[in-house]
């Protein structure tokens, strides 16, 4: 009974968060508001995806098979809620940005990560017992390879940008192209999560 009540509460909270998110995402916005929302969604998406990946690798390491519906709702709430919060902060002129100021430092980290991955790949073929994980679905060596690859993927866009300055018209043209792609993505995203929420509510109602 308590589990059913908690699921109903989670479904209601997710519906509120998603409803607010859809309103902000699909409402007509001027260029500045669109840019602020895009920046907020990017920041929220990165944090949410990293959180989901950490949970997935935890499940693989511990050998857990079952996925909780509450955690799926939590992922939806995290993406929607963080987007709304970051969008509000962007509207107030508060922007979060992380960049490596020293390119040499970034290159050093990249070299170390690449060397570390190479060593891990060799150790994977050697099949060392200390790196095996009998209780999980993935070995510690493969886990470290995956995490290291993700780390490299995060570091690459944080490297200092050495591109030459472009004119205002080129910036506007690039923004228009990005807006078109973003709108297509948003429609697909809204349809997917809308159908998912309807499906979950239907399953809860028919239990």
- How do residues 39-92 score in pLDDT, each as one tens digit? 898 889 989 999 988 988 898 888 887 777 788 888 889 999 999 999 999 988
φ/ψ of residue 132, rounded to 5: -80, 150
> At which residue do the structure tokens 């170390």 appear?
112
Q: What are the sequence ranges of the domains in the chain?
A: 1-99+186-207, 100-160
- Determine contact, residues 179/30, Cβ cutoff 8 Å: no
The predicted pLDDT at position 204 comes to 61
Q: What is the average per-residue pLDDT within 32-38?
A: 88
Distances (CA, A) of 139 to 61, 90, 105, 194: 7, 42, 30, 36
**Per-residue pLDDT tens digits for 132-159:** 888 888 888 888 888 888 888 888 777 7
Percent of the chain with pLDDT over 90: 8
Q: Is it the case that residue 206 has pLDDT exceeding 70?
A: no
Would you state the pLDDT for residue 166?
A: 55
Give the pLDDT confidence of 80-127 residue by residue, as tens digits. 999 999 999 998 888 877 777 777 777 788 788 878 878 877 777 777
Mean pLDDT of all residues belonging to the chain: 79
If pLDDT is split at 50, 70 and 90, which confidence band does 197 have? Answer: low
Q: Residue 61 and residue 137: Cα distance in Å, rounded?
A: 6
Q: Is the pTM of this model over 0.75?
A: no
Cα atoms in the Cβ-side hemisphere of radius 13 Å centred on 92: 8
């Amino acid at each position: 009974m308590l589990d059913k009540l908690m699921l109903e509460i989670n479904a209601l909270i997710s519906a509120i968060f998603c409803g607010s998110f859809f309103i902000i995402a699909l409402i007509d916005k001027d260029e500045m508001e669109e840019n602020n929302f895009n920046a907020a969604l990017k920041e929220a998406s990165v944090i949410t995806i990293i959180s989901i990946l950490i949970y997935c690798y935890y499940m693989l390491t511990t050998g857990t098979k079952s996925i909780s519906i509450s955690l799926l709702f939590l992922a939806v709430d995290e993406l929607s809620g963080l987007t709304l919060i970051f969008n509000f902060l962007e509207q107030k002129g508060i922007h979060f940005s992380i960049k490596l100021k020293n390119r040499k430092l970034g290159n050093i980290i990249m070299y170390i990560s690449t060397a570390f991955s190479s060593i891990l790949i060799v150790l994977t073929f050697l099949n060392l017992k200390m790196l095996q994980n009998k209780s999980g679905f993935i070995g510690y060596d493969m886990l470290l390879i995956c995490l290291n690859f993700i780390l490299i993927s995060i570091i690459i866009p944080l490297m200092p940008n050495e591109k030459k300055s472009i004119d205002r018209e080129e910036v506007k043209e690039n923004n228009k192209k990005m807006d078109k792609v973003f709108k297509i993505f948003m429609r697909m995203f809204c349809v997917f999560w809308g159908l998912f929420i309807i499906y979950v509510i239907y399953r809860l109602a028919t239990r």
